[in-house]
Amino acid sequence: MSSVTENVQEVLEDIKKYSIYPERVKLVAVTKYPIVTKEKLEELMKNGIFSFGENRVQVLEEKLELLGDEKDKIQWNFIGNLQKNKVKYIIDFIHMIHSINKLSLAEEVNKRAEKIGRVVDVLIEINLSGEDSKEGYELEEFYKDIPELVKLKNLNICGLMTMAPNTGDENLIRGSFKKLREIKDSVNNKFNNNLTELSMGMSGDYKIALEEGATIIRIGSKLYE
């Protein structure tokens, strides 16, 4: 067995072991790394992994070219900071955008989706760490914008996304993930929404995220080491 296959199987076993509802969890394989060759992408697919995550539009376009006809098998997830002027390049095929972090971006995605008759699945990214290096809504601003966000008919707001604080303190990491789950529940109660997805947890902290209710984990380096 190659390392990619072994690593995928390890993560899938961890989902069963740590998640509070493993049947709901989706593994998004982050493919932004230069080491991720076509062969590694194909091996991911052989292991049943068809959800890929990219954080830059240009790199996503390169992956599309690299995969050729096989690209249509993939559910492409955009997980990075998305500039409004780049939306047009991905709007016709993107499966889910994890990183809606301001109302103006949401409106641009909605406008582009409406033009082509699509409803696009999106997640709202919230910055719970307060770190300047991380993107995402401040919580107060998110609550202020919710009434406008839910009016956007060509967006299907499925849930929330966050990145854990840059720390080795597992209590702080766990607290961040727990807080995101609590925000989801609060939004559903206050605004009669039906948010179901929590995109949280990466290679270094996905086990904690699973314990705290992650439904999507974004795994990169762990799959290729």
Give the per-residue pLDDT at 126.
97
| 1 pLDDT higher than 70 | no
The arithmetic mean of pLDDT across residues 110-129, rounded, is 97
Classified as helix, coil or strand, 187 is: helix
Would you say 167 and 173 are in contact if contact means Cβ atoms under 8 Å apart?
yes
Question: How far lies 124's CA from each of 45, 144, 171, in Å?
Answer: 27, 13, 24
Q: How far is it, in rounded angstroms, from Cα 214 to Cα 21? A: 9
- pLDDT tens sequence across 134-162: 889 999 999 999 999 999 999 999 999 99
Q: Give the side-chain half-sphere CA count within 13 A for 97.
A: 34
Label residue 36 by pLDDT band (50, 70, 90). Answer: confident
- pLDDT tens sequence across 41-71: 999 999 999 999 999 999 999 888 888 888 8
Give the per-residue pLDDT at 211.
98
Task: Please give the tally of structural domains in the chain.
Answer: 1
Q: How far is it, in rounded angstroms, from Cα 40 to Cα 46? A: 10
Q: Which residues pair with 65 in a beta bridge?
A: none
Would you say 125 and 161 are in contact if contact means Cβ atoms under 8 Å apart?
yes
Which pTM value belongs to this model? 0.95
Q: Scan for tokens 């799959």, then name that residue.
A: 223
Domain residues for the domain of 89 are 3-224
Closest CA to 90 of 124, 126, 117, 64: 64
Give the per-residue pLDDT at 27.
98
Cβ contacts of 102 within 8 Å, gap of 6 or more:
137, 145
84 — alpha (psi -120 to 50), left (phi > 0) or beta?
Answer: alpha
**DSSP letter string, 188-209:** HHHH-----EEE---TTTHHHH
Give the per-residue pLDDT at 134.
85
Q: Scan for tokens 């909605």, then name that residue.
A: 110
Would you say 21 and 211 are in contact if contact means Cβ atoms under 8 Å apart?
no
| Domain CATH for 140 | 3.20.20.10
Closest CA to 28 of 118, 106, 97: 97
